[in-house]
Chains A and B, each alone.
Chain A
Amino acid sequence: MLSVRDLAKRFGEIRAVDGISFDVQDGEIFGLLGPNGAGKTTTISMISGVLAPDGGQVLVDGQDVWARPKQVKRLLGVVPQEIAVYEDLTARDNLVFWASLYGLRGAQRRAAIDRALERVGLADRAADRVRTFSGGMKRRLNLSMGLIHEPKFLLLDEPTVGIDPQARLAILEIVREVAASGTTVLYTTHYMDEAEKLCDRVAIIDHGRILATGTLDELTRLAGEGELLRLTGSFTADALRERLGALDGVEPRRLADGFALLARRPDGPGLAQLLPRLLDAEAGVDDVAIQRPSLEAVFIALTGRALRD
């Protein structure tokens, strides 16, 4: 288990990480979800023993990362947000170097490199220089370097930033496979959908503090248990607001002329009943979308703003 207790880090006047605590259970994928600047990378840096915390403790399998750095680092595989590879070397050169740092030698190292390349689909490009790779391929190599020594814990810091959707799906699939093989994963992201699709549990972090932690279901309940309705059409916000006042079980989340985001409680009216009561004869509806409550809604509920803000 990876256990973070009251971890804190300050840069001058800025509290980058402000006393956060969470546990990552063996074998799970734990997401750290938050906007840019929330403190995710600083947290990963402290967990991986790169950045000394001002306070708090990180225990990896019961060992303090700052008391026994080398032993703990051997248990960790770290994939940074940057594509931290040597572009003038080949993919194999990069992996040889990284494997050497973890003490792999000879046949054991060759096997580990072949396995890592196979895992990320780069076996046929092993002898090519990294500078000839696409962004997605570099990301996959970046990931393979964190996997080369078969770590017990894999720390991924926004590993899909800046790549196309197809490459992103490939990375997510690899992470699932790694987790399925028993590796514990700590995954930071600012993409809601990644956290929703990938993580067993998620901690929402903002301004260096953890706002909530739980499974997707546990978190979405924080934003209400009903559905979200998105309406677009030819109506005014004032007219809609007036009619909503007379309805039970439906609350406005966002209203604008031609757009409405409404939260409907489970005991609220059904769609067929709702629409005629919301819209007058002159109003028209072009599109209606029903959304289950998401992490986006949770983040809004917890912070009062959208994640991308």
Chain B
Amino acid sequence: MAATLAIVRRDLVRWARNPGRLVLLLGMPLALAAIFALAFGTGGEAGLTVRVLVIDEDGTALSEFLSGALGSQEDTGPLDVEIVGEEGRAMIERGEASALVIIPEGFTDAFLDGRPATLRLIKNPAEQFLPQAVEEALRAAAVVLSQASRTFRDELAEFSAMLAADHSPDPVAIGAMSTRIAAKLQTVEPYLFPPVIELETISADGGDESDDGPSMQAVLSLVLPGLAVLSLLFFAQAATRDVMEEREHGLLRRLLSAPVGTGEYLLAKCVSVVTVSALGFALLIGIGRLAGVAWGPPVAVIGLVLSASIAASGLLLLLVSLVSSEMAANALTTIVVMVSAMVGGSFVPLPALPDFLLPVARLTVNYWATSGFLVLIRDGGGPADVVPQIGVLAGGGLAMLAVGAFRLARRIRAGDV
């Protein structure tokens, strides 16, 4: 046991002596995420699709314009706007969309008369980030319409009268109105007036909503769990790479010439890899906490960190046991880590993963760890809610650690040192 502890201590000292390695491993996932965002974000094909339900109780041209405007907000990404009936209220309660916009009856009349008009936005309480996007889109549309209402009050009243008349509008009157609108458009200063259209935001579960825009915490809460798991895999990869490095540089042979058994050595490596992975993972979680991410109950977070670290360590040790050189180990582990990050929810948030990928995603450490954190962060779950994730991660991880260690032990005893 003393030898095991000495090896673990040495591995930790090596990490402490290489802070650059630590920074690199923490920074790499963030850099990769940025690269992916730059590569795929501009076209929108790989971006998120936010499903928005609209109940148009008004049923006028203006309300239809507003519905269309929601779907064309470039800054917020594509919104999948669906006009629904009263069933929309039940749908949002079932969590089938990110938000429900209600355009109340009389909205257009109030708008044209310059009276205050209210749009209602009901957000899905189970989501944090996506409903914020809808809220921003709607807020932008409300501001535009409010400005129009204030600026063109007279013209809108005249236009309203034209619509109400039972004869065709007088072309001369239309021409005069157009001239006045053009003149006002040249002089109007946007955002000078308070909006006449209020956006009333409520949660589907009846909770209060702050009026702030999408916060950094909301964004981090969505993306950080996946990135933290990716970082965890990088830590585990670096830690298990030491096994091959020691073998190829004669350190393993030398180590085994000391009073150290093969079992003691492998136990030490397992403990080292898990410890390093867990510390790296915990560090990233700490950074997220400082940035305002509410990870959830500490017991549940610790459970997820440990179980995910065991799973990541097991996976990487198993992979290393399958190959015979440091170079092959690097290649194999990098491929597996990157693929599992892509399909497991590290680069694309789990809620946005296509259905056909889910069976594959469930084979990854990323999926189980990320989904566990989302249960805590997004759904406000407690320790009991993440027991399945912890169970899968810890159980699978221990099994992989055992198989990997067994294979390595067999190789060492066969003289492959």
Contact = CB atoms under 8 A, between A and B. Distances in A.
Contacts of A80: 250, 253-254, 257
Interface of B is mostly: helix
A284 interface: no
Contacts of B417: 50-51
A103 B260 CA distance: 11
Interface stretch (B1-9, B164-172, B198-206, B303-311): B1-9
A2 to B, nearest CB: 14
A52 interface: yes
Nearest to B248: A82
B249 A84 contact: yes
Contacts of A73: 257-259
Contacts of A78: 254, 257-258
Interface in A52-94: 52, 69-70, 73-74, 76, 78, 80-86, 88-90, 93
A86 B259 contact: no
Interface string B1-32: 01100110110011001100000000000000
B14 A86 contact: yes
B251 interface: yes
A39 interface: no
Nearest to A145: B254
A-side interface size class? 20 to 34
A218 B294 CA distance: 81
Contacts of B254: 78, 80, 82, 84, 145
B256 interface: yes
A50 B6 CA distance: 19
B17 A101 contact: no
B415 interface: yes
Contacts of A45: 253, 257, 415
A70 B253 contact: no
28 contacts: A45-B257, A45-B415, A49-B257, A51-B417, A70-B259, A70-B261, A73-B257, A76-B257, A78-B257, A80-B253, A82-B249, A83-B250, A84-B253, A88-B17, A88-B18, A89-B13, A89-B14, A89-B17, A97-B6, A97-B7, A97-B10, A100-B2, A100-B9, A100-B10, A101-B3, A101-B255, A102-B259, A103-B2
Q: Which 9 A-B pairs have the closest CB atoms?
A: A82-B250, A100-B6, A78-B257, A48-B257, A84-B254, A84-B250, A97-B10, A101-B258, A70-B259
